[in-house]
Structure 1
């Protein structure tokens, strides 16, 4: 039986920083989508992640089909779908919220596939956070139509699959792993962009792109993707997917706060309660070792 390892204070602080970065990323995506089509923006984002680094960084010793699977799931599955949802009117905070349901998918698969062990406190903590996520999703008004919900749920499923690819194959060199896997996402994203948005969506960039879109793309590529996911995947490899994933539940918390500050999305009593439940669940989950120790005395 696998044990859920305790996250060190340093790693926990880094993961909190990643959650903050990712929360802000959804707002930056909204800014970029004001000028760029969804699949085109995803293509440019991962193009910047790949080039010119792929010419200088050796390919990791990971089977090509694993690199391809991770890249396609990550680039097209997660962020292609997220961009589509935001572009069609789903608020950034709601998109981040639905995608973080991957924490529960990851946790459930980890218990079954990797025989990880979960205590009653762990399960209770996750259900508290799930209650907060569910309340926020049910009560959220801002344009969360069926298309947005379905695409985000698919993104959440892809996020979980990416987590388990990292956990199962344990890539030693995470940065090369990401850069080379993202190379395989480019043809898929290009085809999706041309099919759904037309070749003219690329040609029109010279007339529509501005400094806000450029800042959005640079931040998405280098800060959110290369830095953020390097830290995240490092901790998944070091601990486990079901240990790290619940910290991702804080991403909607940061996304909603940032959306409120910069885009004036309202935070009513229901939203405040939802955020509080998510926060309490994550704190309980990450204090479970100390609580279990105190209860066993």
Structure 2
């Protein structure tokens, strides 16, 4: 990989890691479900008019939009709004790799190797350590919602494998059109019209900036650059850079939000990232499909 391509891969990981700190800042301006809806609205417009027609069936766009956009991001934003720290969120979401492997085994009949199963066990141990750390300092309910968000991310990864989109950026932009109305409806029902209107009436440059970052920088630039790298390098070369996301997530949260990083949290990070690395890159038995070129850990969020 050329130095410029290496720098771009690290930059994307940094963008995705810092995204969790930006979400935390944005939640001070918007209710979580409204914030998530605005994020997808900004990601879809005007990009949907620039990327061309969808290149996969609508059933896959709708399915991924509901599971990834509504369920995964809705749960993540609510989790963080209820007290889940930004840095810890960036770490716990990496358990999506384990959920992806489990769902792929159940749906696609992809059997993980013994090394892959060992990696899942190590990652789960890391989640256990993180839960102990969070239980000592924060709400376990918010932690559980973040784990559920990771499970939804795993399910969306399997749906995306089934869809096999030839253009990841085109796919993500069209997927972003799906969650907007469901998230707005959920926000009106659970957060209330008055709270939503107050947040929109108080919109300022910092609040608008958080929306633009999570929509255009994290989604449009992040996925576009990642897809560009994957078209030029093997997935096995590019994918390991996604393991840098928790490093940037925890570091930016500590730097900009003053979020403490305990010894237990570093231990959890080592176990979870090490386990995810084993589970992600161990050889699989009887692969059902060729791997599609999408990142295994986000954004993105």
TM-score, normalisation: structure 2: 0.78
Counterpart position of 1:223: 217
**Deviation digits for residues 21-73 of structure 1 (CA, Å, limit 9, x no counterpart):** 22211110010111111111111111111112223433213222221111122
Distance 2:269 2:19 in 1: 18
Q: What is the aligned partner in structure 1 of residue 192 from structure 2?
A: 198
Match of 2:82 in 1: 88
Which deviates further from its counterpart, 115-124 or 219-228? 115-124
1:108 and 1:12 map into 2 onto residues whose CA distance is 31
Question: Contact conserved, 1:38 with 1:83, CA < 8 A, in 2?
Answer: yes
| 2:21 aligns with one of 27, 30, 39 | 27
Gaps of 5+ in 1: 1-6, 290-297
User: How far is the alpha carbon of 1:189 from its aligned partner?
Assistant: 0.9
The CA deviation string for residues 154-181 of structure 1, in whole angstroms up to 9 with x for no partner, is 2112111221122112111222222222
RMSD of aligned residue pairs (Cα, Å): 3.6
User: Which structure 2 residues correspond to residues 1-297 of structure 1 after superposition, within 5 A?
Assistant: 17-116=11-110, 118-141=112-135, 144-230=138-224, 248=242, 250-281=244-275
Distance 1:81-1:142 versus aligned 2 partners, 3 A rule: farther
Partner SS state of residue 89, structure 1: coil
Distance 2:8 2:246 in 1: 17
Structure-1-length-normalised TM-score: 0.79
| 1:44–1:75 Cα change, 3 Å | same
| 1:79-131 residue CA offsets vs partner (Å, 9 max, x unmatched) | 11111111111211232333222110112233454344544444334433332
* Contact 1:23 1:255 (C-alpha < 8 Å) held by counterparts: yes
Structure 2 residue runs of 5 or longer lacking an equivalent are: 284-301
